[in-house]
Structure formats: structure tokens, C-alpha cells
């Protein structure tokens, strides 16, 4: 997938989904508006083209995606939608047909809460959907404003508030998920290290024991070697202390079925990676 980083993966997926929704949503809106003679095509076309371009760009950069790329794509997609909505909503309002104002803006604000890769980008996008709706309302003719349902355009602020809360909730959940994964990865690395140390200790204990007994045997056989054997004994003592120090990692280790026979693969586990590097 994109990369190992969960934030990057979320950013890429969010931007990609937003671009797809832009293409699909604008296409559907265009089909619904085809009976409106004054409705221009270019806002839909531009928005859809931007969406398609972003989809292609995101697919090309899929293996090299970053959170910044996802955020930039998401923001560009939002701007294209907002421009299109600014133009088309005015035409919808002037048709004189029954019309629920700023549906796309409300839907867009909620979609941002579900897809925005970062808090800043998300809040800016939600604010954009709300500002476009309110701004558009106030540039319309007062006669048109009067036929708007009661409470419009201020309902968009309720949607924006809900969208903002959902966005924060979702991003905090993702941050918590990433933290849990990080802690789990650290715990796994620590256990792997502990396992390596314990295996290393087991691997060296018998050789140390052999050297220790050999020293005593030679000491009994040859008194001439005393100074040399004393040095050897001190070396064994230091190795024994190291072994005892490594024993501290035993408690961090969870044994699983089959670990009892770890000697079989001891060489591979301890020295396999080194051999592969050579």
C-alpha cells in the first residue's frame, strides 16, 4: 500500500475518496440540473476534471504518498467543489422550483469530517462549505432570499458544528490508534530483544561452564599454569556476570508453544541475519 505509516495511508485514502465523491457527486448534480436552461456546464466540468486529475495524481504517487500530498489534494478538491457550488447554487436558487438550499454544502461538510487527513485542512474545508453557503445567500436577490426555508442559511452552521466535532473525534481516534500501534511495535521490539538476549545467554552458558571446569581441571593437573589460569578464571567470572545480567531479560519474555525446542534453530536465530549480510 502507500507506506507503512498509518497517517500517510489515511491521508491518501481520504483524498482519493474525496476526489471520487467529487467526480460522482458533480456528475449526478449535473444530470439533475440538465433541465435548468441557465445552468452552466463549466463549473461541473472543471470540478470533475480537477477530481479526475487528483485521482490520477494520487494513483501515480501512491507508492510515494505523504500526509502533505494527501492534504494538498484534499484541499484542492474542496476548492474546486466550493467554486462549482458557488456558481451552481445561485442558478438553483433562481429557478423558482422547489429547492432545498445548500444540500451539497451540508453533505460536503459531513463528508469532510469523515475524510479530511488533518485537523487544519478539515476545519478549513468545513468552514469553506459553511462560508460559501452563507455568502451565497447574501449575494442573492432579497426576493429570492425571502422564499428560502425558515432558518436558512444558518442551518449550515449546525452542520458545520457537527462536522467539526465529528472531525475532531475521528482524528483523535486515529491518533490513539496510531499510538496503540506504536506502543505495540515497541513492545514487540523489546520482546524480540529480550528473546535474543535470553537465547544468547543460553547459547553461551554451556561454553562458559566448559571453560570454567577446564580451568579447574588444568589447575589441579599443573601448578605451573596458576597465573594463566587465574586470568582465565577472571575472564570466566566476567562472562558469568554477563550471563547473570542477561538473565534479567527472562521476565520480559513470553514463552509460546514450540519455544522449548529453540536450540534447533539457535544458530539461525542468532547468527542467520549476520550470515545473510556476509
Partner 1 sequence: MSSLTRRTVHNPQYGWCGAPSSVIAAVPIPQDAVRRVPEPVMGTGFVLYVEDNDDLRELVVDLVTLVFQRRCVGVASYEELMALGEDALGCSVAILDINLGPNRRSGIDAYAWLRDKGYTGPIVFLTGHASTHPLVVEAQRIGDAQIFSKPIDADRLRSIIERERQ
Q: Are 28 and 87 in contact (CB under 8 A)?
A: no
Least distance CB 225 / partner 1 (angstroms): 14
Cβ neighbors of 39 (< 8 A, separation 6 or more) are 33, 88, 91, 92
Our finding on whether 263 is near partner 1 (CB under 8 A) is: yes
The 155-194 site mask, x for binding partner 1 (CB under 8 A), equals ----------------------------------------
Least distance CB 223 / partner 1 (angstroms): 13
Q: Are 191 and 254 in contact (CB under 8 A)?
A: yes
Least distance CB 185 / partner 1 (angstroms): 23
Q: What is the DSSP letter of 236?
A: H
Q: Are 185 and 193 in contact (CB under 8 A)?
A: no
Give the separation between CA 277 and CA 260, rounded to whole angstroms: 28
Q: Are 239 and 208 in contact (CB under 8 A)?
A: yes
Q: Which residue in the set 60, 139, 143, 261 belongs to the binding site for partner 1 (CB under 8 A)?
A: 261
Please report, as residue ranges, which positions from 193 to 252 form the binding site for partner 1 (by CB under 8 A): 198, 201-202, 205-206, 208-210, 212-214, 216-217, 220-221, 236, 239-240, 243, 247, 250-251
Determine phi and psi for 40, rounding to 5 degrees: -75, 155
Least distance CB 219 / partner 1 (angstroms): 9
Residue closer to partner 1, measured from CB, 139 or 220: 220
Q: What nine digits make up the cell of 219?
A: 589447575
Give the separation between CA 141 and CA 63, rounded to whole angstroms: 50
Residue closer to partner 1, measured from CB, 60 or 220: 220
The Cβ of residue 276 has, within 10 Å, a number of other Cβ atoms equal to: 7
Give the separation between CA 170 and CA 175, rounded to whole angstroms: 9
Q: Which stretch binds partner 1 (CB under 8 A): 94-102, 155-163, 261-269, 270-278?
A: 261-269
Give me the sign of the Cα torsion angle 168, 171, 174, 176: negative
Residue closer to partner 1, measured from CB, 185 or 190: 190
Using CB under 8 A as the binding criterion, the count of chain residues that bind partner 1 stands at 30
Q: Are 134 and 156 in contact (CB under 8 A)?
A: yes
Residue closer to partner 1, measured from CB, 46 or 270: 270
Residue closer to partner 1, measured from CB, 168 or 262: 262
Least distance CB 248 / partner 1 (angstroms): 10
Please report, as residue ranges, which positions from 107 to 166 form the binding site for partner 1 (by CB under 8 A): none
First to last CA, the chain: 31
Binding-site ranges for partner 1 (CB under 8 A): 198, 201-202, 205-206, 208-210, 212-214, 216-217, 220-221, 236, 239-240, 243, 247, 250-251, 253, 255, 259-264
Amino acid at each position: 500500500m502507500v507506506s507503512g505509516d498509518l497517517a500517510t495511508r489515511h491521508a491518501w485514502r481520504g483524498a482519493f475518496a474525496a476526489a471520487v465523491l467529487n467526480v460522482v457527486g458533480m456528475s449526478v448534480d449535473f444530470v439533475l440540473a440538465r433541465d435548468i436552461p441557465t445552468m452552466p456546464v463549466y463549473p461541473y466540468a472543471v470540478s470533475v476534471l480537477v477530481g479526475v486529475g487528483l485521482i490520477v495524481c494520487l494513483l501515480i504517487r501512491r507508492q510515494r504518498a505523504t500526509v502533505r500530498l494527501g492534504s494538498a489534494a484534499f484541499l484542492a478538491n474542496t476548492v474546486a467543489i466550493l467554486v462549482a457550488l458557488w456558481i451552481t447554487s445561485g442558478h438553483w436558487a433562481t429557478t423558482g422550483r422547489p429547492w432545498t438550499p445548500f444540500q451539497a454544502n451540508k453533505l460536503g461538510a459531513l463528508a469532510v469530517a469523515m475524510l479530511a487527513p488533518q485537523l487544519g485542512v478539515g476545519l478549513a474545508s468545513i468552514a469553506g462549505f459553511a462560508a460559501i453557503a452563507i455568502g451565497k445567500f447574501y449575494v442573492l436577490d432579497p426576493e429570492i432570499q425571502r422564499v428560502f426555508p425558515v432558518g436558512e442559511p444558518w442551518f449550515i452552521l449546525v452542520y458545520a458544528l457537527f462536522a467539526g466535532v465529528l472531525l475532531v473525534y475521528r482524528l483523535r481516534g486515529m491518533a490513539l490508534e496510531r499510538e496503540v500501534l506504536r506502543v505495540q511495535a515497541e513492545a514487540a521490539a523489546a520482546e524480540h530483544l529480550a528473546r535474543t538476549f535470553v537465547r544468547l545467554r543460553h547459547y553461551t552458558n554451556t561454553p562458559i561452564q566448559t571453560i570454567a571446569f577446564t580451568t579447574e581441571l588444568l589447575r589441579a593437573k599443573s601448578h605451573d599454569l596458576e597465573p594463566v589460569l587465574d586470568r582465565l578464571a577472571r575472564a570466566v567470572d566476567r562472562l558469568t556476570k554477563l550471563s547473570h545480567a542477561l538473565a534479567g531479560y527472562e521476565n520480559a519474555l513470553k514463552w509460546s508453544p514450540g519455544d522449548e525446542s529453540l536450540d534447533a534453530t539457535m544458530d539461525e536465530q542468532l547468527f542467520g541475519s549476520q550470515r545473510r549480510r556476509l
